[in-house]
Structure 1
Amino acid sequence: MSLHEITKIEGGSTSSKAGGSATDRICSSSEMVQLIQKVIAEVIGTYMLIFAGCGSVVVNKIYGSVTFPGICVVWGLIVMVMIYSLGHISGAHFNPAVTITHSIFRRFPLKQVPLYILAQCLGSILASATLCGIFTVHKENFFGTVPTGSNLQSLVIEIIISFLLMFVICGVATDNRAIGELAGIAVGMTILLNVLVAG
């Protein structure tokens, strides 16, 4: 064995016939496991978000026991709970807009964006299917809010509340000067306010 080969081995830059050194394979498999955990966390978080939030709307529509302020509180609380439960695993995006924004500002790897969006869509579809299976939903029922003003007014208010949400998320979740432990409370309360104002 030559001195050059020994130096390469000591430096960890050699590769085996199986396609990379043992260290490279361990790192690669570890990264894959972490990515799978992140995707699963996004599915679970989005599922719980839609199940609780939309579930409160359905329960209120059928039984009238939740009330509109109660629905607002449910949305805010479920977002806060999921951020604290899963934020350390996946970053708790639960929304393609959040994932894309983090990617634009280079706080999130671009190659993981499609997986996150797929996980979020899957979680929301599964939650919707669960609600359809649990509750008797008739075609004439509509479990949502109908704009009270014009389409333009609705568009403007959606832009404002979306800006507020992304402003808060970027402020508390991506800036090192913010107190990270309060991110869940800040984002959850922003969701509560947005639902209270805009439905």
Structure 2
Amino acid sequence: MARITVDHVEEEFTKTTDKTNCVFGLCSSPSTVTITQKLIAEVIGTYFVIFAGCGSVVVNKIYGSVTFPGICVTWGLIVMVMIYSVGHISGAHFNPAVTITFAIFRRFPYKQVPLYIVAQLMGSILASGTLALVFDVTPNAYFGTVPVGSNCQSLVLEIVISFLLLFVISGVGTDDRATGELGGIVTGMTILLNVLVAGPISGASMNPARSIGPAVVKHVYKGLWVYVVGPIIGAIAGAFAYNLIRSTDMPLKDLVRSGSFLRGTSAN
């Protein structure tokens, strides 16, 4: 009869545990734990951005106690608060346009893009569902984004304000020469200003998730494509413009050839 030693038992137990982890639980992988934490942060962050921002809209429409400037301030403040809360965990995207743009300019892995977008849409839909349950949201109190004028007018506005948003984010969030600690404040102030200017016309979405969540919950799809196409085009253009003026000592042909133009790496 074969002699079973303690070492042999421990070895077999380890092999069995490893196989079980591979089949039933990927959470044993540190990288999987990390991405899970990031996705949870994105869900929570997006949830509260939409809950507070859209909540201020619906409260103002029903009770009239917030006012339009108050809505602008609420959007800016909640984005700033959530950036400082989970920015060090997930990067505080809360916005598919930001995620896609960062991936294009090689500041975010492509393989995580679908996961982030799903997390952001989930957070938006959950927040919109919460608001729909708490408040009696009539068509006049809809808290989503619908073009007030033509679709073209809102599309142009969404491109312009999303351009500004990503231009600012690229400056304060990706350039080592910037004061990174102020990134949340500057981003929040940019959103406040964008809502103040474009809010009465397009709703100042700047974020496909912000528009898709309420649309899905309340089944209002009028002009929804504007808030998907506009922010993505504007965000990519804004990041492109900042990388174009980013300081470098390399000639343009070498910059393009090396890929530093996309990475936004300064040679200084």
> Structure 1 residues 198, 35: CA separation in 2 closer, same or farther (over 3 Å shift)?
same
Deviations 1:16-56 (A, max 9, x none): 9758xxxxxxxx71111111100000000000000000000
CA distance in 1, matches of 2:109, 2:145: 35
Aligned position for 1:169: 169
Deviation at 1:86, TM superposition (A): 0.4
Name the CA shift for 1:191/1:111 in 2 (closer, same or farther; >3 Å): same
Q: Deviations over 1:51-79 (max 9, x none)?
A: 00000000000100000000000000000
Q: Which moved more, 1:100-109 or 1:89-98?
A: 100-109
Does the CA-based 8 Å contact 2:61-2:140 persist in structure 1?
no
2:141 and 2:55 map into 1 onto residues whose CA distance is: 14
| SS state at 1:106 partner | coil
Partner of 2:191: 191
- Distance 1:133-1:148 versus aligned 2 partners, 3 A rule: closer
What does residue 124 of structure 1 align with? 124
In 2, Cα distance between equivalents of 1:114 and 1:145: 23
Conserved in 1, the CA contact under 8 Å of 2:46 and 2:94? Answer: yes
CA separation in 1, counterparts of 2:196 and 2:106? 32
Q: How does 1:91-106 map to 2 (within 5 A)?
A: 91-106=91-106
Fraction of identical pairs, as percent: 76
CA gap 1:147/1:129 in 2 versus in 1, 3 angstroms: closer
Q: Is the counterpart of residue 152 in structure 1 residue 146 in structure 2?
A: no
* Superposed CA offset, 1:69-101 (max 9, x none): 000000000000000000000000000000011
1:1-199 matches, cutoff 5 A: 29-139=29-139, 141-144=141-144, 147=147, 149-199=149-199
The alpha-carbon distance between structure 1 residues 60 and 140, as it changes in their structure 2 partners (threshold 3 A), is closer
Alpha-carbon distance, 1:139 to partner: 4.1
Which sections of structure 1, spanning at least 5 residues, go unmatched?
1-15, 20-27
Name the CA distance, whole Å, in 2 between partners of 1:145 and 1:118. 20
- State the TM-score, normalizing by the size of structure 2: 0.62
Note closer, same or farther for the CA distance 1:65–1:141 as it changes in structure 2 (3 Å cut).
closer
Distance 1:140 1:187, change over 3 A: closer
In the alignment, the residues of structure 1 paired with residue 154 and residue 139 of structure 2 have an alpha-carbon distance, to the nearest angstrom, of: 25
1:183 CA displacement: 0.6
User: Cα deviations across residues 105-141 of structure 1 (Å, max 9, x unaligned)?
Assistant: 1111111111100000000000000001111122454
Give the AA of the match of 1:119.
A
Q: Structure 2: any 5+ residue segments left out of the alignment?
A: 1-13, 20-27, 200-268
Aligned position for 2:226: none
Aligned length: 178
**Matched residue type, 1:52:** A
AA at the equivalent of 2:53: G
TM-score by length of 1: 0.83
RMSD: 2.2
Deviates more, 1:144-153 or 1:119-128: 144-153
